[in-house]
Structure 1
Amino acid sequence: MQPFELSLTEASRAVRARELSPVELTESVLARIAAVEGRLSAYVTVAADAALAAAARAEREISEGGPRGPLHGIPMALKDLIDAAGMPTTASSRVRAGHLAEHDSGVAERLGAAGAVLLGKTHTHEFAYGLITPQTNNAWDPGRVAGGSSGGSAVAVAAGGATFAMGTDTGGSIRVPAALNGVVGLKPTYGLVPRTGVTSLSWSLDHVGPLTRTVQDAALVLAAVAGHDPRDPASVSGPVPNRFRGGDGLRGLRVGVPRNHYFDRVTPEVEESVRGAIERLAELGAELVDVEIPMARYLQAVQWGLMVPEATAYHERSLRATPDLYAADVRILLEAGELTSAGDYLRAQRARALMRDVWARMFDGIDVLAAPTVPMTAAEAGQEAVEWADGTTEAVSDSYVRLCAPANITGIPALTLPVGHGRAGLPIGMQLMARPFGDATVLHVGRVYEESVAGTGRLAPLAVPLAA
């Protein structure tokens, strides 16, 4: 096994045991990037020299005083919305040509303090305003979409081009590409991870979180980056999960199985895999509870009613000054936001408040909600719509956001992890959600599940030679 094939947990253990040096690990991951990047295009920028220097520094620190923690000397990537001092933050857009970050984002600061090694910046759908990431190809099938908007981060992790990566999630932008590329993605509770120095799409829906190979890996990253930051007005002082929930497996834990919304308009292979995974949770000791998803008919309207005007407000000046620099799909959405009335936006905010309340009551009867992450596997590149068995037609992006948006609207933690593959061999993800600050609970359930199945942390089987 080559070092780039190791999960974060495995690599950290090897570094701690002095069986693997940060330099050896970083060199292996950089070689993997060189081998697959031409086919996948996960990265905007690869800072190889800086990464090797940071790895050498980490190696000296570990040799002299031992590791600071599990991320010390571990190579990782940042979505190119997240500032790192001295590096461009392009948001994968011509609008940001020539931009250079003066300071680290809050997340980059914390990862740096933990000793992580920054490899570079990964592609996003332009300004995170989309679910495709058209610059990047799916790690399992380059003819398919990577998902978005954190597509580059998901593909880098799935292909072995980063031991872990950070993304952002406004309507599913961590979970969608994670599910489509067969990796783990965590959208933490709103405000738990600071967004200081992170380019915004929609301030009231934006979250920052990790994409990793295993649930254990996600927990290690979350512990390093979570916590209050006074520079982020939405930052909270909630509990930072630093260990998994105790207990005897899943015994006594109530898993909600939705009767509506989440299994409406999903492909048979997704439904089969996710229901099979839910049954596995029952075999592991969980009690399954049927639940009705409240206010389901309003979810899409509320998501768009919040996101569209907030995004347009953020881009107001540059949209007027340089509209031609935006990609057509993003410019259309930004211009549409100018037509949203203040009354519409306020109604969406009121509906969100009601939704949070009724969802909190739903969680009085369950500990975790389990559901598909996305209704179908990765679409073919260029596919614009999907036709469902009931005769309805839906845009691919609307399809991908539909099952993820509720967790953004309500601010609850949501974890996606791989639970199977479709007929074409493409990954399928299951989403686990809990009440606000129940991050440790979703991580616990996800870890118990993944420990019960084979193939955890598997890399995408790229049809290219493994780096030597």
Structure 2
Amino acid sequence: MQPYQFTAAEAARLIRDRRLSCEELVRSCLDRIAAREPVVKAWLFLDPDLAIRRARELDKRAVQDGPRGPLHGLPFGVKDVIDTLDMPTTQNSPIYEAARIGRDAACVGVVRHSGALILGKTDTVEFASGGRKALTRNPFNPMHTPGGSSSGSGAAVGDFMVPLAFGTQTAGSHIRPASFNNIYALKPSWSLVSREGVRMAALSLDTVGWFGRSVEDLRLVAEAFRLPGLAQPAASLKGLRVGLCRSPVWNRIEPAGAAALETAARRLEAAGAIVEPLELPAHFAGLTAAREVIGRHEGSAAFLPEYLAAHHLLAADLRQRVELRATYDSAGLLAAYALADRCRPEFDALFGPRLDVVLTPAAPGEAPEGLHTTGDWIFNGIWTLLHVPCLAIPAIRGPRGLPVGIQLVGPRLSDARLLAIAAACAPAIDSEPGWARETLCR
């Protein structure tokens, strides 16, 4: 195996045991990028010389003082709506094409000071919201989207260019690309990870998450963020109570998405879990529309500065979002917030003696063809609005040979418990060996 093929957790152990240097890992990732970037186009900024210098510095520190933290020496991709001290933050917008913020976002600071090497900035939908799409292509078929808005991050991890990367989610921008790129992802509970230095599109929805190639990778980053409860015992699949939730938008599922969910359920049952259908209360059907109302309203405030300062450079759909601000129905907006406030504790209350985790689609099906789309967030928006943690796991290949994943969902602030459950579930759900994934990228 080449170093770029290691999961983050595998590489971390090798670096800690001094059987792999940070420089060796970074050079291997850079070689992979050089070979694949002309096709995948995952990166908006990459400085190989800077990366190698930083890797050597981390190797020196490890020799002198020991590992800096749980992520010591691991290359990390950063979605280009997240500020970095030493790299541009363009947000894929002509307004900020040369912008250098000069400081790290809080999430970047956490991983950098936990030993990670910030490798570069990954492509994104403009402002992670609308306007220009990323140029990034799906690693498994370049004629298909990698998903969005975390397009570059998802594809870079899926194509073995980097072991870890940040994404963000306002509707389905993190979990959906994980499904399309055959990787793992954690969208934490809302507000659990600081969003300081991250471009906001909707204040009450935006969430920072991360991609990896195993549950152990996701947990490694969770340790850096000191998510509460990580010391709890491992979970067991035997007797685990899984709610199979087709969700109120099941009419939007595609055959591959339905097959992924049903296959995951059968595999969990075969491994000893108790899988039973979960029907959400009827009023949860209004959450998709409520998320749309809230997202549009909060976005109208988020893009007002650019609307005023650089009107001609702001994408037409984002200008329209600002212009519709005056037409919003206050009563309808308040009703949307009220429905979310009602449903959050109701969903949390479903868990306990009769339910441990929810199994639900991560995307309608395979990644759509074309770069004009990033796919449909319809199976993600409800969970984003509920502020609950979501964890994506690869499941099957669809009829076109493209990956289709599922997601596990828990109640708010149960992130550590969800990671433990996912660690037990993943070997049953994900039947494709991690080391073999790279050979399947086209």
TM-score interval, smaller chain: over 0.9
Checking the alignment, whether the CA contact within 8 Å between 2:389 and 2:409 is kept in structure 1 is yes
1:303 equivalenced with 2:304 (yes/no): no
> In the TM superposition, what is the alpha-carbon distance from 1:344 to its structure 2 partner?
2.9
What SS does structure 2 have at the residue aligned with 1:292? coil
Q: Which amino acid aligns with 1:375?
A: P
The separation in 1 between residues aligned to 2:192 and 2:169, in whole angstroms, is 13
Checking the alignment, whether the CA contact within 8 Å between 1:145 and 1:381 is kept in structure 2 is yes
Q: Deviations over 1:276-319 (max 9, x none)?
A: 11122222222223221232321221111111111110111211
1:369 equivalenced with 2:358 (yes/no): yes
Corresponding residue number in structure 2 for 1:327: 315
Corresponding residue number in structure 2 for 1:82: 82
Corresponding residue number in structure 2 for 1:255: 242
> In the TM superposition, what is the alpha-carbon distance from 1:329 to its structure 2 partner?
4.1
Q: Which runs of 5 or more structure 2 residues have no equivalent in the other structure? A: none
The separation in 1 between residues aligned to 2:64 and 2:369, in whole angstroms, is 50
The separation in 1 between residues aligned to 2:219 and 2:301, in whole angstroms, is 34
> In the TM superposition, what is the alpha-carbon distance from 1:205 to its structure 2 partner?
0.4
Q: For residues 254-273 of structure 1, what are the structure 2 equivalents within 5 Å?
A: 254-258=241-245, 260-261=247-248, 263-273=250-260
The separation in 1 between residues aligned to 2:178 and 2:326, in whole angstroms, is 32
> In the TM superposition, what is the alpha-carbon distance from 1:334 to its structure 2 partner?
4.3
> In the TM superposition, what is the alpha-carbon distance from 1:327 to its structure 2 partner?
3.2
Aligned residues: 437
The separation in 2 between residues aligned to 1:82 and 1:241, in whole angstroms, is 27
Q: Which amino acid aligns with 1:147?
A: G
> In the TM superposition, what is the alpha-carbon distance from 1:445 to its structure 2 partner?
2.5
What SS does structure 2 have at the residue aligned with 1:264? helix
The separation in 1 between residues aligned to 2:346 and 2:179, in whole angstroms, is 27
The separation in 1 between residues aligned to 2:439 and 2:301, in whole angstroms, is 39
What SS does structure 1 have at the residue aligned with 2:346? helix
> In the TM superposition, what is the alpha-carbon distance from 1:183 to its structure 2 partner?
0.7
- 1:378 corresponds, among 350, 367, 383, to 367
- 2:303 corresponds, among 278, 298, 315, to 315
The separation in 2 between residues aligned to 1:103 and 1:159, in whole angstroms, is 29
In angstroms, what is the RMSD of aligned CA positions? 2.0
The separation in 2 between residues aligned to 1:243 and 1:202, in whole angstroms, is 33
What SS does structure 2 have at the residue aligned with 1:317? helix
1:417 equivalenced with 2:405 (yes/no): no
Corresponding residue number in structure 2 for 1:181: 181
Relative to structure 1, the CA distance from residue 36 to residue 349 in structure 2 (aligned partners, 3 Å threshold; closer, same or farther) is same
* TM-score normalized by the length of structure 1: 0.88
Relative to structure 1, the CA distance from residue 50 to residue 134 in structure 2 (aligned partners, 3 Å threshold; closer, same or farther) is closer
The separation in 1 between residues aligned to 2:79 and 2:438, in whole angstroms, is 20
Checking the alignment, whether the CA contact within 8 Å between 2:258 and 2:365 is kept in structure 1 is no
The separation in 1 between residues aligned to 2:372 and 2:25, in whole angstroms, is 38
Identity %: 33
Relative to structure 1, the CA distance from residue 267 to residue 244 in structure 2 (aligned partners, 3 Å threshold; closer, same or farther) is farther
Q: Which amino acid aligns with 2:46?
A: V
> In the TM superposition, what is the alpha-carbon distance from 1:197 to its structure 2 partner?
0.8
1:124 equivalenced with 2:124 (yes/no): yes
* TM-score normalized by the length of structure 2: 0.93
Q: Which runs of 5 or more structure 1 residues have no equivalent in the other structure? A: 227-238, 385-395, 464-468
Corresponding residue number in structure 2 for 1:387: none
The separation in 2 between residues aligned to 1:130 and 1:178, in whole angstroms, is 20
Corresponding residue number in structure 1 for 2:96: 96
Relative to structure 1, the CA distance from residue 259 to residue 274 in structure 2 (aligned partners, 3 Å threshold; closer, same or farther) is closer
Corresponding residue number in structure 1 for 2:278: 291
What SS does structure 1 have at the residue aligned with 2:260? helix
Relative to structure 1, the CA distance from residue 118 to residue 65 in structure 2 (aligned partners, 3 Å threshold; closer, same or farther) is same
Checking the alignment, whether the CA contact within 8 Å between 1:368 and 1:432 is kept in structure 2 is yes
